[in-house]
Chain A
Amino acid sequence: MAGKTKLYYFDGRGKMESIRWLLAAAGVEFEEEFLETREQYEKLLQGGSLLFQQVPLVEIDGMKMVQTRAILSYIAAKYNLYGKDLKERALIDMYVGGTEDLMGFILFFPFLSAEDKEKQRAVIVQKATSRYFPVYEKVLKDHGQDFLVGNNFSWADVHLLEAILMVEEKKSDVLSGFPQLQAFKARISSIPTIKKFLEPGSQRKPVPDDKYVETVRRVLRMYYDIKAN
Protein backbone atom coordinates (compact mmCIF):
# COMPACT_ATOMS: atom_id res chain seq x y z
CA MET A 1 0.00 0.00 0.00
CA ALA A 2 1.87 3.05 -1.22
CA GLY A 3 -0.52 5.78 -0.15
CA LYS A 4 0.50 9.33 0.55
CA THR A 5 3.78 10.32 2.10
CA LYS A 6 3.19 11.14 5.78
CA LEU A 7 5.45 13.02 8.15
CA TYR A 8 5.40 12.63 11.94
CA TYR A 9 7.08 15.44 13.87
CA PHE A 10 6.45 18.52 15.96
CA ASP A 11 4.63 21.44 14.38
CA GLY A 12 7.88 23.22 13.66
CA ARG A 13 11.13 23.06 11.72
CA GLY A 14 13.68 21.01 13.64
CA LYS A 15 15.13 18.09 11.74
CA MET A 16 12.03 17.63 9.60
CA GLU A 17 12.23 20.95 7.77
CA SER A 18 14.88 19.82 5.25
CA ILE A 19 12.59 16.91 4.39
CA ARG A 20 9.62 19.26 3.83
CA TRP A 21 11.81 21.40 1.58
CA LEU A 22 12.99 18.45 -0.51
CA LEU A 23 9.54 16.90 -0.94
CA ALA A 24 8.14 20.31 -1.87
CA ALA A 25 10.97 20.98 -4.33
CA ALA A 26 10.28 17.61 -5.95
CA GLY A 27 6.60 18.52 -6.23
CA VAL A 28 5.53 15.72 -3.88
CA GLU A 29 2.43 16.20 -1.76
CA PHE A 30 2.60 15.02 1.83
CA GLU A 31 0.49 14.81 4.97
CA GLU A 32 1.67 15.71 8.43
CA GLU A 33 0.83 14.47 11.92
CA PHE A 34 2.02 16.86 14.61
CA LEU A 35 3.27 15.58 17.96
CA GLU A 36 1.71 17.67 20.68
CA THR A 37 1.52 15.37 23.69
CA ARG A 38 3.75 12.88 25.43
CA GLU A 39 0.99 10.29 24.97
CA GLN A 40 1.12 10.58 21.20
CA TYR A 41 4.87 9.96 21.27
CA GLU A 42 4.53 7.00 23.62
CA LYS A 43 1.87 5.54 21.36
CA LEU A 44 4.25 5.76 18.40
CA LEU A 45 6.97 4.13 20.49
CA GLN A 46 4.73 1.30 21.65
CA GLY A 47 3.46 0.76 18.14
CA GLY A 48 7.02 0.02 17.05
CA SER A 49 7.08 2.67 14.33
CA LEU A 50 10.20 4.42 15.54
CA LEU A 51 13.21 2.25 14.75
CA PHE A 52 15.50 4.07 17.19
CA GLN A 53 12.72 5.61 19.32
CA GLN A 54 13.16 8.94 17.54
CA VAL A 55 11.43 11.27 15.14
CA PRO A 56 11.52 12.36 12.31
CA LEU A 57 9.40 9.49 11.01
CA VAL A 58 8.34 9.48 7.37
CA GLU A 59 5.97 6.89 5.98
CA ILE A 60 6.81 6.60 2.30
CA ASP A 61 6.42 3.79 -0.24
CA GLY A 62 5.41 1.28 2.40
CA MET A 63 8.42 2.04 4.60
CA LYS A 64 8.52 3.64 8.04
CA MET A 65 11.70 5.65 7.56
CA VAL A 66 13.67 7.27 10.33
CA GLN A 67 17.05 9.04 10.38
CA THR A 68 16.89 12.33 8.54
CA ARG A 69 19.84 11.62 6.24
CA ALA A 70 18.43 8.25 5.15
CA ILE A 71 15.06 9.85 4.40
CA LEU A 72 16.59 12.73 2.44
CA SER A 73 18.86 10.41 0.41
CA TYR A 74 15.91 8.21 -0.49
CA ILE A 75 13.77 11.14 -1.61
CA ALA A 76 16.65 12.69 -3.58
CA ALA A 77 17.36 9.45 -5.42
CA LYS A 78 13.72 8.65 -6.07
CA TYR A 79 13.00 12.04 -7.60
CA ASN A 80 16.22 12.34 -9.59
CA LEU A 81 17.76 15.06 -7.45
CA TYR A 82 20.93 13.10 -6.70
CA GLY A 83 23.11 13.61 -9.75
CA LYS A 84 23.68 11.32 -12.70
CA ASP A 85 26.46 9.08 -11.35
CA LEU A 86 28.52 8.19 -8.28
CA LYS A 87 30.83 11.17 -8.61
CA GLU A 88 28.03 13.74 -8.88
CA ARG A 89 26.37 12.02 -5.95
CA ALA A 90 29.62 12.37 -3.99
CA LEU A 91 29.75 16.10 -4.73
CA ILE A 92 26.12 16.52 -3.69
CA ASP A 93 26.81 14.59 -0.49
CA MET A 94 29.81 16.80 0.28
CA TYR A 95 27.89 20.01 -0.33
CA VAL A 96 24.88 18.81 1.67
CA GLY A 97 27.21 17.77 4.49
CA GLY A 98 28.45 21.33 4.67
CA THR A 99 25.01 22.97 4.67
CA GLU A 100 23.85 20.40 7.21
CA ASP A 101 26.73 21.34 9.52
CA LEU A 102 25.86 25.02 9.05
CA MET A 103 22.17 24.47 9.79
CA GLY A 104 23.26 22.38 12.77
CA PHE A 105 24.41 25.60 14.46
CA ILE A 106 20.88 26.95 14.07
CA LEU A 107 18.96 23.79 14.97
CA PHE A 108 19.20 24.15 18.74
CA PHE A 109 19.28 27.98 18.74
CA PRO A 110 15.69 28.29 20.06
CA PHE A 111 16.62 26.16 23.09
CA LEU A 112 19.40 28.49 24.26
CA SER A 113 19.18 31.13 26.96
CA ALA A 114 18.81 34.72 25.75
CA GLU A 115 22.46 35.42 26.50
CA ASP A 116 23.70 32.31 24.71
CA LYS A 117 21.48 33.16 21.74
CA GLU A 118 23.41 36.34 21.11
CA LYS A 119 26.71 34.50 21.27
CA GLN A 120 25.39 31.78 18.99
CA ARG A 121 24.07 34.29 16.48
CA ALA A 122 27.61 35.58 16.09
CA VAL A 123 28.95 32.02 15.70
CA ILE A 124 26.36 31.24 13.02
CA VAL A 125 27.23 34.35 11.02
CA GLN A 126 30.96 33.75 11.40
CA LYS A 127 30.74 30.13 10.25
CA ALA A 128 28.44 31.02 7.38
CA THR A 129 30.58 33.84 6.05
CA SER A 130 34.03 32.37 6.62
CA ARG A 131 33.61 28.61 6.22
CA TYR A 132 30.49 27.71 4.24
CA PHE A 133 29.24 30.49 1.96
CA PRO A 134 32.67 31.07 0.36
CA VAL A 135 32.72 27.43 -0.79
CA TYR A 136 29.41 27.63 -2.65
CA GLU A 137 30.20 31.14 -3.94
CA LYS A 138 33.38 29.74 -5.51
CA VAL A 139 31.67 26.64 -6.93
CA LEU A 140 29.10 28.79 -8.71
CA LYS A 141 31.70 31.32 -9.87
CA ASP A 142 34.07 28.65 -11.20
CA HIS A 143 31.56 26.81 -13.40
CA GLY A 144 29.18 29.67 -14.08
CA GLN A 145 26.19 27.33 -14.17
CA ASP A 146 22.78 27.81 -12.59
CA PHE A 147 23.03 24.82 -10.26
CA LEU A 148 25.70 23.52 -7.94
CA VAL A 149 26.27 20.09 -9.52
CA GLY A 150 26.20 18.77 -13.06
CA ASN A 151 24.27 21.67 -14.54
CA ASN A 152 21.12 20.11 -13.14
CA PHE A 153 18.80 20.97 -10.25
CA SER A 154 19.63 18.72 -7.29
CA TRP A 155 19.20 18.20 -3.56
CA ALA A 156 22.34 20.30 -3.02
CA ASP A 157 20.58 23.38 -4.45
CA VAL A 158 17.49 22.90 -2.28
CA HIS A 159 19.57 22.42 0.86
CA LEU A 160 21.73 25.47 0.14
CA LEU A 161 18.72 27.72 -0.41
CA GLU A 162 17.22 26.50 2.84
CA ALA A 163 20.50 27.25 4.67
CA ILE A 164 20.82 30.72 3.11
CA LEU A 165 17.30 31.72 4.15
CA MET A 166 17.84 30.40 7.68
CA VAL A 167 21.05 32.35 8.14
CA GLU A 168 19.42 35.49 6.70
CA GLU A 169 16.78 35.20 9.41
CA LYS A 170 19.62 35.67 11.90
CA LYS A 171 21.34 38.46 9.94
CA SER A 172 19.45 39.89 7.02
CA ASP A 173 22.44 41.25 5.07
CA VAL A 174 24.62 38.17 5.47
CA LEU A 175 24.81 37.66 1.69
CA SER A 176 26.26 41.09 1.07
CA GLY A 177 29.72 39.75 0.21
CA PHE A 178 28.39 36.94 -1.97
CA PRO A 179 27.03 38.07 -5.35
CA GLN A 180 26.86 34.52 -6.80
CA LEU A 181 24.79 33.37 -3.83
CA GLN A 182 22.48 36.36 -4.16
CA ALA A 183 21.81 35.43 -7.79
CA PHE A 184 21.50 31.75 -6.81
CA LYS A 185 18.95 32.62 -4.14
CA ALA A 186 16.83 34.57 -6.64
CA ARG A 187 17.09 31.82 -9.26
CA ILE A 188 16.24 28.89 -7.04
CA SER A 189 13.46 30.78 -5.26
CA SER A 190 11.71 31.28 -8.58
CA ILE A 191 11.62 27.58 -9.50
CA PRO A 192 7.85 26.91 -9.52
CA THR A 193 7.77 24.22 -6.79
CA ILE A 194 10.05 26.23 -4.55
CA LYS A 195 8.22 29.47 -5.22
CA LYS A 196 5.04 27.74 -4.12
CA PHE A 197 6.70 26.44 -0.95
CA LEU A 198 7.86 29.97 -0.11
CA GLU A 199 4.35 31.38 -0.31
CA PRO A 200 2.09 31.76 2.74
CA GLY A 201 -0.15 28.75 3.33
CA SER A 202 2.48 26.20 2.31
CA GLN A 203 3.75 23.52 4.68
CA ARG A 204 6.94 25.44 5.35
CA LYS A 205 7.24 26.08 9.07
CA PRO A 206 8.04 29.47 10.66
CA VAL A 207 11.07 30.35 12.76
CA PRO A 208 10.78 28.26 15.96
CA ASP A 209 9.35 30.12 18.97
CA ASP A 210 9.01 29.41 22.69
CA LYS A 211 5.85 27.39 22.14
CA TYR A 212 7.79 25.05 19.85
CA VAL A 213 10.57 24.67 22.43
CA GLU A 214 8.00 23.93 25.13
CA THR A 215 6.32 21.29 22.98
CA VAL A 216 9.57 19.49 22.17
CA ARG A 217 10.61 19.46 25.82
CA ARG A 218 7.18 18.25 26.95
CA VAL A 219 6.91 15.48 24.39
CA LEU A 220 10.49 14.20 24.53
CA ARG A 221 11.27 15.13 28.15
CA MET A 222 14.68 16.26 26.90
CA TYR A 223 16.67 19.37 25.92
CA TYR A 224 16.03 21.28 29.12
CA ASP A 225 19.59 22.49 29.50
CA ILE A 226 21.21 23.17 26.15
CA LYS A 227 24.45 25.09 25.98
CA ALA A 228 25.96 26.70 22.92
CA ASN A 229 28.80 24.74 21.23
Chain B
Amino acid sequence: MSGKPRLTYFNGRGRMEPVRWLLAAAGVEFEEIFLETKEQYEKLIKDGVLMFQQVPLVEMDGMKMVQTRAILSYIAGKYNLYGKDLKERALIDMYVEGITDLMQMILMFPFSPPEAKEKNLDSIKERATNRYFPVFEKVLKQHGQDFLVGNKFSWADVQLIEAILAVEEKIPAVLSGFPQLQAFKIRMSNMPTIKKFLQPGSPRKPPPDERYIETVLKIFKK
Protein backbone atom coordinates (compact mmCIF):
# COMPACT_ATOMS: atom_id res chain seq x y z
CA MET B 1 0.00 0.00 0.00
CA SER B 2 1.82 3.02 -1.32
CA GLY B 3 -0.26 5.73 0.28
CA LYS B 4 -0.98 7.21 -3.12
CA PRO B 5 -4.63 7.64 -4.09
CA ARG B 6 -5.83 4.67 -6.11
CA LEU B 7 -8.40 5.15 -8.87
CA THR B 8 -10.59 2.31 -10.15
CA TYR B 9 -12.37 2.93 -13.45
CA PHE B 10 -12.36 2.03 -17.13
CA ASN B 11 -9.24 2.83 -19.11
CA GLY B 12 -10.77 6.00 -20.45
CA ARG B 13 -12.14 9.42 -19.51
CA GLY B 14 -15.76 9.05 -18.47
CA ARG B 15 -16.59 10.30 -15.01
CA MET B 16 -13.07 9.74 -13.69
CA GLU B 17 -11.30 12.23 -15.94
CA PRO B 18 -12.08 15.33 -13.83
CA VAL B 19 -10.60 13.48 -10.85
CA ARG B 20 -7.40 12.75 -12.80
CA TRP B 21 -7.24 16.42 -13.82
CA LEU B 22 -7.70 17.70 -10.28
CA LEU B 23 -5.18 15.36 -8.68
CA ALA B 24 -2.69 16.17 -11.42
CA ALA B 25 -3.27 19.91 -11.08
CA ALA B 26 -2.67 19.59 -7.33
CA GLY B 27 0.59 17.77 -8.07
CA VAL B 28 -0.65 14.52 -6.52
CA GLU B 29 0.60 11.22 -7.95
CA PHE B 30 -1.91 8.39 -8.14
CA GLU B 31 -2.29 4.77 -9.18
CA GLU B 32 -4.96 3.37 -11.45
CA ILE B 33 -6.76 0.04 -11.75
CA PHE B 34 -8.60 -0.41 -15.04
CA LEU B 35 -11.86 -2.33 -15.29
CA GLU B 36 -11.68 -4.59 -18.30
CA THR B 37 -14.08 -7.44 -17.54
CA LYS B 38 -17.52 -7.93 -16.05
CA GLU B 39 -15.96 -10.36 -13.56
CA GLN B 40 -13.69 -7.63 -12.15
CA TYR B 41 -16.69 -5.36 -11.67
CA GLU B 42 -18.78 -8.08 -10.08
CA LYS B 43 -15.94 -8.91 -7.71
CA LEU B 44 -15.75 -5.27 -6.60
CA ILE B 45 -19.47 -5.34 -5.86
CA LYS B 46 -19.22 -8.66 -4.02
CA ASP B 47 -16.31 -7.33 -1.94
CA GLY B 48 -18.49 -4.44 -0.87
CA VAL B 49 -16.12 -1.67 -1.92
CA LEU B 50 -18.56 0.17 -4.17
CA MET B 51 -21.03 1.92 -1.89
CA PHE B 52 -23.74 2.25 -4.55
CA GLN B 53 -22.36 -0.48 -6.84
CA GLN B 54 -20.85 2.16 -9.08
CA VAL B 55 -17.50 3.50 -10.21
CA PRO B 56 -15.63 5.89 -10.03
CA LEU B 57 -13.97 4.58 -6.90
CA VAL B 58 -11.07 6.49 -5.34
CA GLU B 59 -9.23 4.99 -2.40
CA MET B 60 -7.49 7.72 -0.50
CA ASP B 61 -6.72 8.65 3.11
CA GLY B 62 -8.24 5.41 4.34
CA MET B 63 -11.57 6.03 2.58
CA LYS B 64 -13.19 4.17 -0.30
CA MET B 65 -14.77 7.17 -1.97
CA VAL B 66 -17.51 7.02 -4.58
CA GLN B 67 -19.72 9.73 -6.16
CA THR B 68 -17.64 11.94 -8.40
CA ARG B 69 -18.64 15.20 -6.77
CA ALA B 70 -17.82 13.94 -3.29
CA ILE B 71 -14.41 12.83 -4.50
CA LEU B 72 -13.66 16.10 -6.27
CA SER B 73 -14.86 18.23 -3.33
CA TYR B 74 -12.63 16.28 -0.98
CA ILE B 75 -9.57 16.68 -3.18
CA ALA B 76 -10.27 20.39 -3.71
CA GLY B 77 -10.70 20.90 0.04
CA LYS B 78 -7.60 18.93 0.95
CA TYR B 79 -5.30 20.67 -1.53
CA ASN B 80 -6.56 24.23 -1.01
CA LEU B 81 -8.27 24.55 -4.37
CA TYR B 82 -11.65 25.44 -2.88
CA GLY B 83 -11.40 29.16 -2.15
CA LYS B 84 -10.73 30.91 1.13
CA ASP B 85 -14.23 31.07 2.59
CA LEU B 86 -17.83 29.94 2.17
CA LYS B 87 -18.67 32.55 -0.44
CA GLU B 88 -15.68 31.75 -2.65
CA ARG B 89 -16.56 28.10 -2.26
CA ALA B 90 -20.12 28.88 -3.37
CA LEU B 91 -18.81 30.62 -6.51
CA ILE B 92 -16.49 27.71 -7.27
CA ASP B 93 -19.36 25.26 -6.78
CA MET B 94 -21.62 27.25 -9.11
CA TYR B 95 -18.98 27.43 -11.82
CA VAL B 96 -18.04 23.76 -11.48
CA GLU B 97 -21.66 22.62 -11.57
CA GLY B 98 -22.33 24.63 -14.74
CA ILE B 99 -19.25 23.22 -16.44
CA THR B 100 -20.23 19.72 -15.30
CA ASP B 101 -23.60 20.13 -17.04
CA LEU B 102 -21.73 20.92 -20.27
CA MET B 103 -19.31 18.03 -19.75
CA GLN B 104 -22.26 15.70 -19.18
CA MET B 105 -23.31 16.29 -22.79
CA ILE B 106 -19.84 15.31 -23.96
CA LEU B 107 -19.79 12.31 -21.61
CA MET B 108 -22.97 10.89 -23.08
CA PHE B 109 -22.10 11.72 -26.72
CA PRO B 110 -20.19 8.51 -27.60
CA PHE B 111 -23.13 6.43 -26.37
CA SER B 112 -25.77 8.17 -28.46
CA PRO B 113 -27.06 6.34 -31.55
CA PRO B 114 -25.43 7.29 -34.91
CA GLU B 115 -28.54 9.07 -36.16
CA ALA B 116 -28.59 11.35 -33.10
CA LYS B 117 -24.90 12.27 -33.16
CA GLU B 118 -25.14 15.29 -35.43
CA LYS B 119 -27.98 16.78 -33.43
CA ASN B 120 -26.11 16.15 -30.17
CA LEU B 121 -22.97 17.77 -31.53
CA ASP B 122 -25.01 20.84 -32.48
CA SER B 123 -26.43 20.93 -28.95
CA ILE B 124 -22.95 20.82 -27.44
CA LYS B 125 -21.84 23.67 -29.69
CA GLU B 126 -24.97 25.69 -28.93
CA ARG B 127 -24.70 25.26 -25.17
CA ALA B 128 -20.97 25.92 -25.07
CA THR B 129 -21.16 29.10 -27.13
CA ASN B 130 -24.48 30.50 -25.85
CA ARG B 131 -24.80 29.32 -22.28
CA TYR B 132 -21.49 28.38 -20.67
CA PHE B 133 -18.49 30.02 -22.32
CA PRO B 134 -20.06 33.52 -22.27
CA VAL B 135 -20.37 33.30 -18.47
CA PHE B 136 -16.70 32.58 -17.92
CA GLU B 137 -15.63 35.05 -20.62
CA LYS B 138 -17.55 37.72 -18.71
CA VAL B 139 -16.20 36.70 -15.28
CA LEU B 140 -12.62 36.95 -16.51
CA LYS B 141 -13.24 40.21 -18.37
CA GLN B 142 -14.91 41.87 -15.39
CA HIS B 143 -12.26 41.19 -12.76
CA GLY B 144 -9.30 41.04 -15.12
CA GLN B 145 -7.57 38.45 -12.95
CA ASP B 146 -5.77 35.31 -14.02
CA PHE B 147 -8.10 32.91 -12.19
CA LEU B 148 -11.86 32.58 -11.99
CA VAL B 149 -12.28 33.01 -8.22
CA GLY B 150 -10.49 35.05 -5.59
CA ASN B 151 -7.41 35.79 -7.66
CA LYS B 152 -6.17 32.31 -6.88
CA PHE B 153 -5.89 29.00 -8.72
CA SER B 154 -8.84 26.75 -7.81
CA TRP B 155 -10.86 23.69 -8.81
CA ALA B 156 -13.01 25.95 -11.01
CA ASP B 157 -10.02 26.80 -13.21
CA VAL B 158 -9.07 23.13 -13.61
CA GLN B 159 -12.63 22.18 -14.50
CA LEU B 160 -12.86 24.98 -17.06
CA ILE B 161 -9.60 24.17 -18.86
CA GLU B 162 -10.64 20.52 -19.03
CA ALA B 163 -14.00 21.52 -20.54
CA ILE B 164 -12.47 23.94 -23.04
CA LEU B 165 -10.11 21.28 -24.36
CA ALA B 166 -12.86 18.65 -24.49
CA VAL B 167 -15.18 20.92 -26.49
CA GLU B 168 -12.36 21.98 -28.81
CA GLU B 169 -11.77 18.34 -29.66
CA LYS B 170 -15.29 18.29 -31.08
CA ILE B 171 -15.50 21.88 -32.34
CA PRO B 172 -11.99 23.16 -33.06
CA ALA B 173 -12.91 26.82 -33.58
CA VAL B 174 -15.24 27.03 -30.60
CA LEU B 175 -13.14 29.66 -28.78
CA SER B 176 -13.10 32.03 -31.71
CA GLY B 177 -15.52 34.48 -30.10
CA PHE B 178 -13.90 34.28 -26.67
CA PRO B 179 -10.58 36.13 -26.35
CA GLN B 180 -10.50 35.95 -22.54
CA LEU B 181 -10.95 32.18 -22.67
CA GLN B 182 -8.23 31.89 -25.29
CA ALA B 183 -5.82 33.68 -22.96
CA PHE B 184 -7.07 31.63 -20.00
CA LYS B 185 -6.46 28.42 -21.91
CA ILE B 186 -2.86 29.38 -22.59
CA ARG B 187 -2.26 30.53 -19.01
CA MET B 188 -3.66 27.35 -17.48
CA SER B 189 -1.86 25.11 -19.97
CA ASN B 190 1.43 26.68 -18.89
CA MET B 191 0.99 26.04 -15.19
CA PRO B 192 3.67 23.46 -14.37
CA THR B 193 1.41 20.70 -13.04
CA ILE B 194 -1.09 21.13 -15.85
CA LYS B 195 1.63 21.42 -18.48
CA LYS B 196 2.98 18.08 -17.27
CA PHE B 197 -0.51 16.52 -17.41
CA LEU B 198 -0.92 17.70 -21.00
CA GLN B 199 2.27 15.98 -22.12
CA PRO B 200 2.32 12.48 -23.64
CA GLY B 201 2.84 9.74 -21.08
CA SER B 202 0.73 11.42 -18.40
CA PRO B 203 -2.34 9.70 -16.85
CA ARG B 204 -4.58 11.87 -19.04
CA LYS B 205 -6.82 9.65 -21.15
CA PRO B 206 -7.52 10.11 -24.89
CA PRO B 207 -11.00 10.84 -26.29
CA PRO B 208 -13.30 7.81 -26.05
CA ASP B 209 -12.94 5.36 -28.95
CA GLU B 210 -14.84 2.26 -30.06
CA ARG B 211 -12.86 0.02 -27.72
CA TYR B 212 -13.72 2.18 -24.70
CA ILE B 213 -17.42 2.21 -25.59
CA GLU B 214 -17.39 -1.56 -26.08
CA THR B 215 -15.73 -2.13 -22.71
CA VAL B 216 -18.22 0.04 -20.83
CA LEU B 217 -21.23 -1.55 -22.52
CA LYS B 218 -19.88 -5.05 -21.94
CA ILE B 219 -19.29 -4.48 -18.25
CA PHE B 220 -22.69 -2.92 -17.65
CA LYS B 221 -24.63 -5.32 -19.83
CA LYS B 222 -27.27 -7.18 -17.86
Contacts and interface: CB of A to CB of B under 8 A. Distances in A.
Nearest to B68: A97
B52 A93 contact: no
Interface string A50-94: 011100000001010111111001100110000000110110011
Among A51, A53, A86, max chain B CB count under 10 A is at A51
Contacts of B61: 87
B42 interface: no
Contacts of A63: 87, 90
Contact of B74 (A53, A77, A90): A90
Interface residues of B, number: 28
A96 B68 CA distance: 12
Contacts, number: 79
Contacts of B135: 51-52
Interface in B48-97: 51-53, 61, 63, 65-70, 73-74, 77-78, 86-87, 89-90, 93-94, 96-97
B88 to A, nearest CB: 11
21 contacts: A52-B135, A63-B90, A66-B98, A67-B93, A67-B97, A67-B98, A70-B90, A73-B89, A73-B90, A74-B86, A77-B89, A86-B77, A90-B70, A94-B65, A94-B70, A97-B67, A97-B68, A98-B52, A98-B67, A131-B53, A135-B51
Given A67-B97, A70-B97, A97-B70, 7 more contacts: A51-B94, A51-B98, A53-B131, A63-B87, A63-B90, A74-B90, A77-B89
